A and B are shown apart, each in its own frame.
Chain A
Amino acid sequence: MSPETTGIVGIVVLLVLFMLRMPVAFAMAFVGFVGFAYLNGLESALTLLAQDIFETLSSYPLSVIPMFILMGSFAYASGISQRLYRTCYSWFGQYRGGLTVATVLACSGFAAICGSTAATAATMGGIALPEMKKYNYDDKLATGTVASAGTLGILIPPSTVLIVYGLLTEESIGKLFVAGIIPGALLTVFFVLTVIILCMRNPELAPPGPNTTIMEKIVSLGGIIEAILLFLLTIGGLFLGWFSPTQAGSIGAFGAFLIGVFRKKLEFRRTIGVLTDGLRTSCMVLFIIVGAAVFGHFLAISNIPFILSDWVGSLPIPPMAIMGVIVLIYFVGGFFMDSMALIIVSIPIFFPIVLKFNFDPIWFGVIIVMVGEMGVITPPVGVNVFVIKGIAPRVPLQVIYMGILPFLGAIILLTALLLIFPQIATFIPNLMYS
Chain B
Amino acid sequence: MAILDNFKRFNEKVSTGFEWFGLAAFLLMMLLTTVDVIGAKLFLRPVDGSLDLMMILQLVAMSLALGTSYITGRHVQVEFFTPLLPKLVQRINRCFIRSLMLLLFIVMTWQLFVYGNDLKLYGEVSSTIRIPLYPFTYAAAVAFIPACLAALAKWIQAIIEVFKHES
Do A and B pair up? The answer is yes
A272 at the interface (CB under 8 A from B): yes
Contact B55 A250 (CB under 8 A): no
Chain A binding surface SS class:
helix
Instruction: Output the residue of A21, A60, A257 with the most chain B CB within 10 A.
Output: A21
Report B136 CB to chain A, min CB distance, Å: 8
Contact B81 A20 (CB under 8 A): yes
Please determine whether B26 and A278 come into contact, CB atoms closer than 8 angstroms.
yes
Known interface pairs A62-B58, A251-B37; A276-B80 also in contact (CB < 8 Å): no
Question: Distance (Å) between the CB of A281 and the closest chain B CB?
Answer: 7
Interface-lining segment among B4-12, B62-70, B159-167: B62-70
Contact B76 A286 (CB under 8 A): no
Q: Is the CB of A272 within 8 A of B55?
A: no
Complex Cα distance A58/B53, Å?
10
Nearest CB in chain A to that of B25: its residue: A279
Roughly how many angstroms separate A18 CA and B80 CA in the complex, as a whole number? 10
Minimum CB distance partner of A247 in chain B = B37
Residues of B within 8 A of A287 (CB): 62, 66, 69, 75
Chain B neighbourhood of A50, CB < 8 A: 108, 111-112, 114-115
| Chain B interface, DSSP helix/strand/loop, else mixed | helix
> For B97, what are the chain A residues with a Cβ–Cβ distance below 8 Å?
17, 20-22
Taking a contact as CB atoms under 8 Å apart, the answer to whether B29 and A381 are in contact is no
* Residues of the B chain whose Cβ atoms lie less than 8 Å from the Cβ of A247: 33, 36-37
Interface members, chain B 98-115 (any A CB < 8 Å): 100-101, 104, 107-108, 111-112, 114-115
Task: Name the distance in Å between A76's Cβ and chain B's nearest Cβ.
Answer: 15
Partner of B137 from the list A30, A54, A250, A275 (CB cut-off 8 Å) is A54
Q: How many chain B residues have a CB neighbour from A under 8 Å?
A: 52
- Verify if A24 is at the interface (C-beta below 8 Å from B): yes
Interface string of A234-249 (1 = CB under 8 A from B): 0000000011001100
Counting CB contacts under 8 A, is A336 at the interface?
yes
The residues in B between 41 and 76 inclusive whose CB is less than 8 angstroms from any CB of A are 41, 51, 54-56, 58-59, 61-63, 65-66, 68-69, 72, 74-76
Kindly state whether residue A63 has any CB partner on chain B within 8 Å. Answer: yes
For B34, the chain A residues whose CB sits under 8 A away are 250-251, 254
Q: Once the chains bind, are B77 and A24 in contact (CB under 8 Å)?
A: yes
| A23 and B77 form a contact (CB under 8 A) | yes
Binary contact readout A27-60 vs B (1 if CB under 8 angstroms, 0 otherwise):
0011001000000000000110111011001111
Mark B residues whose CB is within 8 Å of A: 19, 22-23, 26-27, 29-31, 33-34, 36-37, 41, 51, 54-56, 58-59, 61-63, 65-66, 68-69, 72, 74-82, 93-94, 96-97, 100-101, 104, 107-108, 111-112, 114-115, 136-137, 140
The 9 closest A-B pairs by CB, nearest first: A250-B33, A23-B75, A50-B115, A50-B111, A283-B65, A58-B59, A380-B80, A58-B55, A19-B81
